[in-house]
Chains A and B, each alone.
Chain A
Amino acid sequence: MDKGETLLEHMERQGMSRRTFLKYCASLASLMALPPSAAAAMAEALGKARRPSVIWLPFQECTGCTESITRSHSPSVEGLIFDMISLDYQETLMAAAGFQAEEALQNAMKENYGKYVLIIDGSVSTGMDGAYSCIGGRSNLDSLQEAAKGAAAIIALGTCASFGGIPKANPNPTGAVPVSDIIKDKPIINISGCPPIPVVITGVIAHYLTFGTVPELDKHGRPKAFYGETIHDRCYRRPFYDQGKFAKTFDDEGARNGWCLFELGCKGPITYNACATSKWNDGTSFPIQSGHGCIGCSEPDFWDAGGFYKALSTPANPLKYVAAAAVAGAAAGVAVSFANRARKQKAKSEHETATTSDLEK
């Protein structure tokens, strides 16, 4: 793609139709919990965007994040977003190696200085001056500090880059820290998850292209559009939680009836992520649908949080919305889901045609 070309021009040249694009935006709006009417406004703005240069550096990581994203994007609709960026450096995917690869990195940074998006996966080792994790004879700490200087924004991809993740788990032998502990003067978007949901990264890039800004972030630096609600908020087992129907073991009658997994250690109530709606494995399922509680992998220090099978403290104030819906015959259930969106200040556009300024909240 010619870098001066808009996305829509690029797509038209490739023979893609406007409907395909509208459809992509519909799926993105759904994932971002925007009202469906937002799809048209997004398509309009995204179509006019120009693609940014992206430099992707892997640090102390297992390549799970890269696997998660590359496995998802073959010829799928969200794969379209990979046309939207110019991926100028990615060690796992690029053909170049050794000095050529290092040269490609230096060139990409120089040519796009001040404008590129820097993606980091993996935590940064600070022990022994960063000597625990080096690439091409340089510590990750050093590479990060250099690459961050010319970045317009940084995406910390995965729980390791966002919060330190598994490398930082007790006793943290390498002195692992998240990107945000090192870089203080650039906007950082944390896309946590072990691994993160593929479409969330495409969504964040789509947001950046649509609005030219970093999306609204929560207290942990995660985009609220994807991390605004807990797994529990969107869990289809939630009505059983509200009715106090809990599976006590993984093979009891409650488990067979699909009851809530809270007492089996589900961390859904304290975990912010989009698994319950975007799901995994080509939209097949997510852990709770497969019968296992959420392990909370998108939260800071999830590995040291006291055991995956240990129940959180007793559920407090269940919403009881099922009963309300049934008795009042009103749209109470839907209203609860909509109320969650209201937290993100978007409910106001529910019954209006949305514009991009409505979305940029």
Chain B
Amino acid sequence: MSSISQIPVQVLTANDGLTGQAEAVLTEIAEMLSRFLETGKGDSIDLRSLPLSPADKIWLDEQLGRGEVEIGIDAGGRSVVTETAYAGVWKIEHRDTEERIVAELIEVTAMPEIVQPHKTDIEKSYNTLQSSLKQIS
């Protein structure tokens, strides 16, 4: 091969690689939202369990957009909980201490479970605070 221009490079358009799966996910999210409005019951989709192509993932992210809230959690690695442009639809990305993604979820709820402290932990913190106060006084 005599020149670099002879290498047959092809530029793909943004829609190459879209499979139609992402559109189906979006429809599913809409159904989950309507169920949440009717019953108050949240639900979630495990994005890694679906055969989404890299292009599908980008498309889905673009469709969902970003809302006002972003919550960072530091527990055994970083987790980021982001509100999408649709209130009540959250994107959750869990990473381990080596920054590997270990779970990617869409959660339809008012506030994702991982954000809320467990009741036992709140009880414990109340006791700890009480004993700290005793030590101070």
Are the CB atoms of A19 and B46 closer together than 8 Å? no
Instruction: Select from chain B the residue with minimum beta-carbon distance to A11.
Output: B76
B103 touches A27 (CB 8 A): yes
Complex contact B79–A23 (CB within 8 A): yes
Which residue of the partner chain, among B21, B48, B121, contacts A239 with CB atoms under 8 Å? B21
Q: Contact at B105–A36, with CB atoms within 8 Å?
A: yes
Given B21, B56, B75, which contacts A17 in the complex, CB threshold below 8 Å? B75
Partner of B24, one of A74, A80, A334: A334
Stretch at the interface among A51-59, A158-166, A176-184, A325-333: A325-333
> A282 touches which one: B25, B54, B98, B118 (CB < 8 A)?
B98
Question: Which B residues are CB-close (under 8 A) to A237?
Answer: 53
Question: How far, in Å, is A195 (CB) from chain B's closest CB?
Answer: 18
Q: Does A131 contact B (CB under 8 A)?
A: no
Using A19-B73, A23-B103, A27-B102 as known contacts, say yes or no to A333 and B96 having CB atoms under 8 A apart: no
Tell me the nearest residue of chain B to A26, going by C-beta: B103
Bound CA span A22–B115, Å: 11
Q: Is A24 an interface residue (CB 8 A)?
A: yes
The B92-127 residues at the A interface (CB cut-off 8 A) are 94, 96-98, 100-103, 105, 107, 113-114, 118, 120-121
Give Cα distance in the complex from A235 to B121, angstroms: 41
| Identity of the chain B residue whose Cβ is nearest the Cβ of A325 in the assembled complex | B24
Known: A325-B21, A326-B23, A337-B51. A283 touches B100 (CB 8 A): yes
Chain B residues within 8 Å of A220, by CB: none
Most chain B beta-carbon contacts within 10 A, residue among A235, A332, A335: A332
In the complex, which of the residues A19, A257, A326 contacts B16, with contact meaning CB atoms closer than 8 Å? A257
Chain A interface mostly: helix
B4 close to A (CB within 8 Å): no
Closest B residue to A17 using CB positions? B75
Q: Is A314 an interface residue (CB 8 A)?
A: no
- Report the contact-size class of chain B (Cβ under 8 Å from the partner): 35 or more
Q: Which residues of A lie under 8 Å from residue B73 when comparing CB positions?
A: 19
A76: CB under 8 A from chain B?
yes
Q: Nearest-CB distance from A249 to chain B (Å)?
A: 14
User: Is B113 in contact with A351, judged by CB distance below 8 angstroms?
Assistant: no
Q: Known contacts being A26-B105, A30-B49, is A36 close to B24, with CB within 8 Å?
A: no
A-B contact pairs, 30 of them (CB 8 A): A17-B75, A20-B75, A21-B76, A23-B102, A23-B103, A27-B103, A29-B46, A30-B48, A30-B105, A35-B44, A36-B107, A75-B97, A76-B102, A77-B96, A80-B76, A234-B51, A235-B51, A239-B21, A239-B51, A240-B19, A277-B49, A322-B21, A323-B20, A325-B21, A325-B27, A330-B27, A331-B25, A334-B45, A335-B24, A337-B49
Chain A positions within 8 Å of B, measured between CB atoms, are 16-24, 26-27, 29-30, 33, 35-37, 40, 74-78, 80, 233-240, 253, 256-258, 276-277, 282-283, 322-323, 325-326, 329-335, 337, 350-351
Apart from the given pairs A76-B102, A233-B51, A333-B50, 5 other A-B contacts in the complex at a CB distance below 8 Å: A40-B113, A76-B100, A257-B17, A277-B48, A325-B20
